[in-house]
Structure 1
Amino acid sequence: MSQNPTTPVRTRIAPSPTGFLHLGTARTALFSWAYARHFGGKFVLRIEDTDVARSTQDSVEQILASMNWLGLDYDEGPIYQMQRLERYSAVVEQLINEGKAYRCYCSPAELDEMREAQRARGEKTHYDRRWRPEPGKVLPAAPEGVQPVVRFKNPLEGDVTWVDVVKGSITINNREIDDLIIVRPDGVPTYNFCVVVDDWDMAISHVFRGDEHVNNTPWQINIFNALGAPLPQFGHVPVILGDDGQKLSKRRGAVSVTAYEEAGYLPEAMLNYLSRLGWSHGDEELFSREQLVAWFDGSHLSKSPAQWDPAKLEWVNSQYIKQADDERLAVLVAAQLVKRGLKVDAATLVPMCALFKDRCATTVALTDWLSMYFAPVAASAEDLAAHVTEAVKPALQTLAAKLSEAEWNKVGIAAAIKETITAHGIKMPLLAMPVRALVCGRVQTPSVDAVLALFPKEIVIERLRNT
């Protein structure tokens, strides 16, 4: 759908606060946000909290934090469904009064018995509409002590057809659709009903959501029609698959959006990666938020499931870390160091981030590198045995002595190293590897003189003499 919309664009994301904001919902939020921004429309955040037993304030706060971290700013909201119960009740009464909904007094036991009988006859299980009012039909008296549900009076004939933004034309026959419960016995309305009233009241023009909602759409369209409300355009995006080829979900090891923040990913990298799961713009792999908004017109959305690829996300993040301001990285690394019990002024970290960021895929990896400047290190026994040999120990002591007299910068350190290898008649790697092992705790680093220059002189000398 690349043509310009004919009505003002209003999109929404409506997570349920029964857990963290998972990656599929984050991607849907991103698509909804980008589409609204592309067309100069509005993006609405709605919290679908009618599952009272499972909804928590912690989940709400985690959802808001995830949206904020990703930079998905919303124009309206958050709007909470539980604060709109009066509105839902009014619409329910309207539908009942117009003969478009009815009260059903079936007990759970009766419904179970009904389904068992249908299964025994080899039929598809469905509500048999015994409490549905029809011309000439005599209903039994309402039983005492049974709290009824309210069911929507779904059309019995005809088809529900819509042109999906992603999937194209979809048709489902009304005979396949049950009389949906729209109010539970406790008086709380259900998802499929609330979402229609909300989208109607909020003038939502385009609904992007996961394709697990395709089966809900015919019910919702019929309710829209019963209310005389304009239909939004629906776009059902394919699922995201995990490494095992199964749908990525909370039950299958998916983690929260904020967990990626804690793991050292940058929000712009996550936004970039998420947008490529089921959407593309030519062969572009890396692009800015502004480019995404400029390109995202609703076309080029894939019909096929997307594959979550941790290695690809890590690569994307590494590219953004390479481009990131050193001052910004220093602040992020300082926060990571605090978690490790090391309080370091971010300004101290700036030149270190500049030196090491090209080697790192995450800020956690960058913190792993920089922690050697602020905490004791210990090379592996294998590295020590291989490189800190008896033959090289005299050269290490010579280097320690020369460094104690050297001007403490790259030039001075390089000169001390050169004098040492000349004095002992050895090659550079034979000295550099044990120096790295003793001072840095690892044998692969950037240029030794650049690495050592960022240490206090006394720490380098102490570690070299500790052989």
Structure 2
Amino acid sequence: MIIKTRFAPSPTGFLHIGNIRTALYSWLFAKKFQGSFILRIEDTDSNRSCSKYSTHIIDTLNWLGLKWDEGPYFQSKKIERYKDIINFLLEKNHAYRCYCSKNRIIKLREQQLLKKEKPRYDGFCKNLKIQKNSTHVIRFKNPQNGTVIFQDKVRGEIIFNNSELDDVVIQRSNGLPTYNLCVIVDDYDTKITHVIRGEDHINNTPRQINILNALKFTVPQYAHLSMITNEQKTNLSKRDCLTNILKYQKDGFFPESILNYLIRLGWSYKNQEIFSREEMIELFSLHSVKKSSSSFNLKKLLWINHYYLNKISINNLVVLFNEYCIKNKIILYKNIDLKEIIILFKKRCSNIKELVKSCWYLYKNISNYDTNLLKKYVLIYKKEIFLSLIKKFLELNNWEQKNIVSFLKKYSLNNQLTMKDISMLLRVILTNSINSPNITSIIILLGRKKVLHRINFIINAYIKKV
């Protein structure tokens, strides 16, 4: 048997962390057994589906390297196939037309809830012999007796009584098929052997199995993954910006870090934290996937991305740095030494966005200083201190680390300052911050011209006003 799995998102919003984990587990399972991974876009909901989300799904999987072997298949192109299946079910008395109004369905539900009964359709139209021309849906005639039993690859045996299941709608009043019908037809047509999806689909599974049995279609094996909750312990949604995969792509996270983080949200192998793609394929097992829910932890994701940021080559980081700046319309100084900047800053950062933002004063002029910092660390000194600093920087022959360190030590002693004092003074002037790498490294990277320009700017914009 050739193993075939699928990832079948609906294009009604951007993919989030939970969606991608489902895609990853499905992809890994197929690759582990030299099988096929299929991409299907479930876009029959014409009111909510959008082509830009379909494009996003495809682009995201490509970015992550989760290449599909077949597809992408679009459900919207198979409407006639679904209608043929629905007509077959009607002919074989496995389905019927339901003419109940929305108001009747709502009242029925309210009455059942008042009686503390499980809300379900009461089969009012099941045995109608006269067909009407009025608006209607089509329902699958679910068996009333017996049970549905299936072996879940994650949760073990799951049993449903048919008496607890209602007659699910398989065609809407607008003539379009519903999810529960489309999904089983698509899985059958593409010979899916294993359906790996979220646990929110568990209640759909017995209904789908009953439809499969009525059609005499092969029933695939199921694996229902636990939900991932956000930092507020609620289930993820496509509108949750913290777990929207697009956010992390834009912020300069690496595909490897996303996949490494996701594989361990519900699965683990000993105490190993970082996996190559080959290790993921070799070690992954559905039997090792835990049943309990996992919680999204941004700090953990940042830690993993920090690992990759410091592992990737400097040349590649230069490319990514430039790409981020171009996308965000950030103009860099000419002849800026990006390699040295990245070497200096990368250990302090977790992603490309942080890397670019943390060293902004090295590629961009400071136009507005933090006045509170100036008052505390700069304006406490007289103008002579700044003029003498300019003079000494001009006299410095070799713009090298050793010479600058020696100069700062002598200057601090001659002016009765500590090294901390002179460092903080220059740090605020040169970076508009009290946090930065070693100030001598900043001085070297800025160069004599920019250092003198910023000291002069402070004199002209602030010292003269004191």
* TM-score normalised by length of structure 2: 0.90
Q: 2:407 is matched by which residue type in structure 1? A: A
Give, in angstroms, the shift of residue 29 of structure 1.
Answer: 0.8
Q: Alignment partner for residue 34 of structure 1, among 8, 28, 33? A: 28
Q: 2:311 is matched by which residue type in structure 1? A: Q
Q: Quote the residue 1:455 is aligned against.
A: 446
Which whole-Å CA distance do the structure 1 matches of 2:322 and 2:397 have between them? Answer: 30
Classify 1:96/1:403 alpha carbon distance in 2 versus 1 (closer, same or farther; 3 Å): same
Q: 2:28 is matched by which residue type in structure 1? A: A
Give, in angstroms, the shift of residue 172 of structure 1.
Answer: 0.5
Which whole-Å CA distance do the structure 2 matches of 1:223 and 1:406 have between them? Answer: 84
Q: Alignment partner for residue 228 of structure 1, among 208, 211, 216? A: 216
Paired residue secondary structure (2:398): coil
Paired residue secondary structure (1:315): helix
Paired residue secondary structure (1:357): helix
Q: Is the 8 A contact 1:395 1:431 kept in 2?
A: no
Superposed CA offset, 1:14-51 (max 9, x none): 11111111221111111111211222211111000011
Q: Is the 8 A contact 2:318 2:339 kept in 1?
A: yes
Classify 1:168/1:18 alpha carbon distance in 2 versus 1 (closer, same or farther; 3 Å): same
Classify 1:186/1:77 alpha carbon distance in 2 versus 1 (closer, same or farther; 3 Å): same
The answer as to 2:380 corresponding to 1:369 is no
The answer as to 2:432 corresponding to 1:446 is no
Classify 1:422/1:313 alpha carbon distance in 2 versus 1 (closer, same or farther; 3 Å): same
Paired residue secondary structure (2:359): helix
Paired residue secondary structure (1:265): coil
Q: Quote the residue 2:248 is aligned against.
A: 260
Classify 1:52/1:391 alpha carbon distance in 2 versus 1 (closer, same or farther; 3 Å): closer
Count of residue pairs brought into register by the alignment: 455
Paired residue secondary structure (1:456): helix
Paired residue secondary structure (1:323): coil
Give, in angstroms, the shift of residue 101 of structure 1.
Answer: 2.1
Which whole-Å CA distance do the structure 2 matches of 1:110 and 1:391 have between them? Answer: 81
Give, in angstroms, the shift of residue 433 of structure 1.
Answer: 1.8
Q: Alignment partner for residue 310 of structure 1, among 298, 305, 317? A: 298
Q: 1:328 is matched by which residue type in structure 2? A: N
Q: Quote the residue 1:54 is aligned against.
A: 48
Which whole-Å CA distance do the structure 2 matches of 1:157 and 1:413 have between them? Answer: 87
Classify 1:148/1:390 alpha carbon distance in 2 versus 1 (closer, same or farther; 3 Å): closer
Q: Quote the residue 1:387 is aligned against.
A: 377
Classify 1:407/1:182 alpha carbon distance in 2 versus 1 (closer, same or farther; 3 Å): same
Q: Quote the residue 1:413 is aligned against.
A: 404
Q: Is the 8 A contact 1:158 1:174 kept in 2?
A: yes
Which whole-Å CA distance do the structure 2 matches of 1:306 and 1:53 have between them? Answer: 32
Q: Alignment partner for residue 59 of structure 2, among 60, 65, 68? A: 65
CA RMSD across the alignment:
2.4
Mean alpha-carbon deviation: is it higher for 317-326 or for 416-425?
416-425
Which whole-Å CA distance do the structure 1 matches of 2:260 and 2:107 have between them? Answer: 51
Mean alpha-carbon deviation: is it higher for 108-117 or for 155-164?
108-117
Q: Quote the residue 2:392 is aligned against.
A: 402
Q: Quote the residue 1:186 is aligned against.
A: 174
Q: Unaligned regions of 5+ residues in structure 2, if any? A: 460-466
* TM-score normalised by length of structure 1: 0.90
Q: State how 1:45-444 maps to structure 2 within 5 Å.
A: 45-115=39-109, 118=112, 123-133=117-127, 139-144=128-133, 146-250=134-238, 254-338=242-326, 341-344=329-332, 348-377=337-366, 380-388=370-378, 390=380, 394=384, 396-404=386-394, 405-421=396-412, 423-424=414-415, 426-444=417-435
Q: 2:434 is matched by which residue type in structure 1? A: V
Q: Quote the residue 1:136 is aligned against.
A: none
Paired residue secondary structure (1:299): helix
Q: Is the 8 A contact 1:14 1:48 kept in 2?
A: yes
Mean alpha-carbon deviation: is it higher for 432-441 or for 106-115?
106-115
Give, in angstroms, the shift of residue 354 of structure 1.
Answer: 1.3
Give, in angstroms, the shift of residue 234 of structure 1.
Answer: 0.8
Which whole-Å CA distance do the structure 2 matches of 1:346 and 1:395 have between them? Answer: 31
Mean alpha-carbon deviation: is it higher for 28-37 or for 343-352?
343-352
Superposed CA offset, 1:98-149 (max 9, x none): 222223333334434544555566643322223335xxxxx342223x1332
Mean alpha-carbon deviation: is it higher for 296-305 or for 170-179?
296-305
Q: Is the 8 A contact 1:10 1:203 kept in 2?
A: yes
Q: Quote the residue 1:3 is aligned against.
A: none
Q: Is the 8 A contact 1:152 1:181 kept in 2?
A: yes
Paired residue secondary structure (2:54): helix
Which whole-Å CA distance do the structure 1 matches of 2:183 and 2:328 have between them? Answer: 45
Which whole-Å CA distance do the structure 2 matches of 1:426 and 1:119 have between them? Answer: 78
